[in-house]
Chain A
């Protein structure tokens, strides 16, 4: 999967799970502070990434995915390795 496809898929998942507009999904957007998620939404979001990309994201790593940009970078790196 190339990096554009990853990015598109991540954005689509965020849009569906958090019920937000595409325009809000900018790299600096923080899931909790900007996209109105609560801590349980972020767990569900991570689970949706796991399902979509068929990977497991250990709980220790969850804190590394606090913004849209961080999520995209994390997933790109994870899928490259």
Chain B
């Protein structure tokens, strides 16, 4: 039994202003609006400006989450940022965000788990709250994928967008119905080559050649990921349900990673879960990696879909491969 309970206190999100439609992409690569919509459900995505970095989006999302909560800046005692497209290789984007927020004397770090980065970060935060070490942790999922996209590869470049979502995870009273109930997180590093950015790290440092060959961009075997994604998210959700003696019909909402509507529909189908209780916004933002779930949660709460007392499952998969699921009462 943990000493304390953890709950989601508030959310905030931000996407950059520039909108890129499927029709805009038709002018860049050999693709069609029809193909993109049928295969992915995507219609638009937002791209950051050249001068905008991950911490800029994260800052606005974090400010919004703070404003939506009763908390002050000084109440935050830790920052975790889930991202694979941080401002720099180092220092962490969390430290840059700390500077922007004017917070002092707290630990700040980034967490790299591909598109599962937000769920992993929430899980870490949950443990710091439950063991009594921290009270209020700012968790952000942020990504600027448009800057690591290979616009010569039509099978990947249409899929990604930029955005940020933030939440504050707080210690809560035992009698509060709202709490993060359970989580499962997994990885399978033997499949790390299915989705990765080849150059820019110590394996293949930047050189003229890596730039010319477009190796600082996303490489993906979409077909293999597709099957893995459905199987892994289903297994994670199923494990959570069983362990908590729940059935799919007990769940009010599922908020899945927004990577492909076809993956989401297939997952819902396997779970015998109705699509009208699945939060979907992929048509507006495409895949923003670790930002998809916090953006979707922020919108669903503001649209009064997800309400206090609702039982919600979050589930994601991504590069690593990583995957996981979280069960929470809001």
Contact = CB atoms under 8 A, between A and B. Distances in A.
Partners in one complex: yes
B262 A47 contact: no
B277 interface: no
A40 B230 contact: no
Interface string B13-41: 00000000000000000000000001100
B38 A38 contact: yes
Interface string A23-62: 0000000000000001110011011000000000001000
B223 A59 contact: yes
A46 B266 CA distance: 13
B134 interface: no
Interface string B201-241: 00000000000000000000001101100110000000000
B38 A44 contact: no
B262 to A, nearest CB: 5
A39 B266 contact: no
A39 B231 contact: no
A38 B224 contact: no
B33 to A, nearest CB: 15
B229 to A, nearest CB: 11
A38 B231 CA distance: 20
20 contacts: A38-B38, A38-B39, A39-B223, A40-B39, A40-B226, A40-B262, A43-B223, A43-B226, A43-B227, A44-B230, A44-B262, A44-B266, A46-B227, A47-B227, A47-B230, A47-B231, A47-B266, A59-B223, A59-B224, A59-B227
Contacts of B38: 38
A61 to B, nearest CB: 12
Count chain B CB atoms within 10 A of each CB in A39, A40, A59 and give the residue with the most. Answer: A40
Contacts, number: 20
Contacts of A43: 223, 226-227
A40 B262 CA distance: 8
B317 to A, nearest CB: 15
Interface in B251-306: 262, 266
Contacts of A47: 227, 230-231, 266
Contacts of B231: 47
Closest 6 CB pairs of A and B: A40-B262, A43-B227, A43-B226, A44-B266, A59-B224, A40-B39
A38 B38 CA distance: 9
Contacts of B266: 44, 47
A46 B224 CA distance: 12
Nearest to B263: A40
A52 to B, nearest CB: 12
Nearest to B221: A59
B150 to A, nearest CB: 20
A59 B194 CA distance: 13
B114 to A, nearest CB: 20
A1 to B, nearest CB: 22
A34 to B, nearest CB: 18
A79 B227 CA distance: 22
B282 to A, nearest CB: 14
Count chain B CB atoms within 10 A of each CB in A38, A39, A43, A46 and give the residue with the most. Answer: A43
Contacts of B262: 40, 44
A44 B231 CA distance: 11
Nearest to B262: A40
A44 B262 CA distance: 9
Nearest to B38: A38
A44 to B, nearest CB: 6
Nearest to B230: A47
